[in-house]
Amino acid sequence: MITIQDFSNVEMRIGVIVSAERVPETDKLLKLSVDFGEERMRSVISGIAGYIPDPTILVGKRCPFVTNLEPRTIRGLTSEAMIVAVHTEEGAFSILEPTMMQVPAGTRLN
């Protein structure tokens, strides 16, 4: 369990996926370039390739990401955030995407 204070330290923002491609020689990893409304795109390495047959369907999606994690190197690539998604015990998978309004890149989730 984490405390409410611990949770309040987690920064989640909406990012717009600008590009998505499979990481060579892996079955599970995708490399995403994500716009958070900052000066530069961030690279996100995510283990969701097994659920996304065609990564290009992610391009243009506005999704929540955890954005204040320390950068991590995965297969020689730097990951600068983590996508928030749903994976059920039955194996169903979905990215989360706000649909009620066009949320600007970089918007913080409360």
- Give me the domain span that covers residue 47: 4-95
Identify the band that residue 98 occupies on the pLDDT scale cut at 50, 70 and 90: confident
Residue 9 lies in a domain: yes
Residue 103 lies in a domain: no
Q: What is the 3-state secondary structure (H, E, C) of 1-59?
A: CCCHHHHHCCCEEEEEEEEEEECCCCCCCEEEEEECCCCCCEEEEECCHHHCCCHHHHC
Identify the band that residue 91 occupies on the pLDDT scale cut at 50, 70 and 90: confident
Residue 105 lies in a domain: no
Identify the band that residue 35 occupies on the pLDDT scale cut at 50, 70 and 90: very high
Residue 16 lies in a domain: yes
Residue 109 lies in a domain: no
Residue 104 lies in a domain: no
pLDDT of 79 above 90: yes
Question: What confidence score (pLDDT) does residue 61 get?
Answer: 95
Average pLDDT over residues 64-89: 96
Number of domains in the chain: 1
Average pLDDT over residues 52-72: 96
Q: Are 38 and 104 in contact (CB under 8 A)?
A: no
**CATH number of the domain that residue 55 is part of:** 2.40.50.140
Task: Name the more confident of 91 and 51.
Answer: 51
Average pLDDT over residues 9-25: 97
pTM: 0.92
Question: What confidence score (pLDDT) does residue 99 get?
Answer: 80
Average pLDDT over residues 76-85: 97
Block residue for tokens 């999606």: 61
